């Protein structure tokens, strides 16, 4: 009970309004991200695995088809020598509504700074 109360007390004041921050496990893989993206994109190649974690060692929920629309929540890039991974929510196609991980170079999305 004390842990739940601590999660609710972790809040941020924005323009006088109180916004409660969700617990890390409530947002799934987002806790593994290194930066936010908050952009829309689309699958740029045929048959992309939607992974359970940021890497090929994680299992797949299934495959996304070319052109499927996605919302890119955040990015994981632990260091410059490794391929970035995107934590996404699928907005169209067979896995609509599913969240998971896709390698950065398989999704078309605007360059971010």
Which backbone phi and psi does 55 adopt, to 5 degrees?
A: 170, 160
User: Mean pLDDT in the chain?
Assistant: 77
**Plot region of 4 (φ>0 → left; ψ -120 to 50 → alpha; else → beta):** alpha
pLDDT at 77 over 60: yes
pTM of the model: 0.71
pLDDT of residue 66: 95
Query: Please, which pLDDT band fits residue 81 given cuts at 50, 70 and 90?
Result: confident
């Amino acid at each position: 009970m004390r842990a739940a109360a601590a999660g609710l007390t972790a809040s941020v004041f924005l323009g006088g309004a109180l916004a409660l921050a969700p617990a890390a496990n409530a947002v799934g893989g987002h806790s593994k991200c290194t930066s936010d993206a908050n952009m829309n994109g689309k699958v740029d190649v045929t048959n992309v695995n939607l992974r359970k974690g940021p890497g090929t060692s994680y299992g797949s929920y299934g495959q996304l088809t070319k052109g499927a629309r996605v919302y890119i929540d955040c990015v994981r890039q632990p260091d410059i020598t490794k391929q970035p991974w995107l934590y996404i929510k699928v907005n169209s196609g067979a896995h609509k509504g599913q969240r998971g991980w896709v390698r950065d170079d398989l999704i078309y999305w605007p360059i971010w700074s």
